[in-house]
A and B are shown apart, each in its own frame.
Chain A
């Protein structure tokens, strides 16, 4: 079977750095994606890692270790607008498995 684990909720203050971890067990693996979803909205794509290492996109970075079946999303210089749910997703070619999401609360 497939399983992804990520923390259910994380709280941080504005301006801080937060890391959201994701561990996975899947029968096939092409890459790890991250999506952001604001309440009531559509999930939006943030990043994708197919190879080990760190990918940086502005204030957001994503890391993957295939040998450890582990990845994380790093959010720097947190802003109030970053309050949202964050989902990791493992892709097996064109099939995707999502985690349950991590609700990030950013406080002033």
Chain B
């Protein structure tokens, strides 16, 4: 079974530019989560999809962040326009079914640097 994949692995952009991160969860996993880790700090919850629906997006920092999950498969996280404080590692994770989310499978992350 293929694991969670994320693209790109690294992205360096200038302040004000747009970046789109992609996550492909494990096939058949209904739950998809986005997290962000700023160096040395906690892995912070951003949002949670169940299939194609946003279940909880209370962790999204502001309206510069937009997440979508087309057809309940892959997900994208767009940052527009990017600010310096958006730098960090963005992780995506998936789990099998609603209510069974405690065992999450994480992707390797996308390291975003905004200069």
Task: Report which A residues bind B (CB closer than 8 A).
Answer: 4, 30-31, 33, 35, 40-45, 48, 50, 87, 89, 91, 93-101
Contacts and interface: CB of A to CB of B under 8 A. Distances in A.
Interface residues of B, number: 29
A99 B42 contact: yes
Nearest to A31: B102
Given A94-B48, A98-B35, A41 B108 contact: yes
Nearest to B95: A94
B91 A100 contact: no
- Interface of chain A: mostly helix, strand, loop or mixed: strand
Given A31-B102, A100-B40, A94 B45 contact: no
Contacts of A44: 106
Contacts of B105: 45
Contacts of A50: 102
A96 B33 CA distance: 9
B102 A87 contact: no
Contacts of B75: none
B40 A95 contact: no
B99 interface: yes
Contact of B45 (A48, A95, A101): A95
A98 B48 contact: no
Given A41-B108, A43-B91, A94 B42 contact: no
Contacts of B50: 94
Nearest to B6: A42
13 contacts: A4-B42, A33-B103, A35-B106, A42-B91, A42-B109, A43-B93, A44-B106, A45-B103, A87-B42, A94-B50, A95-B45, A97-B45, A99-B42
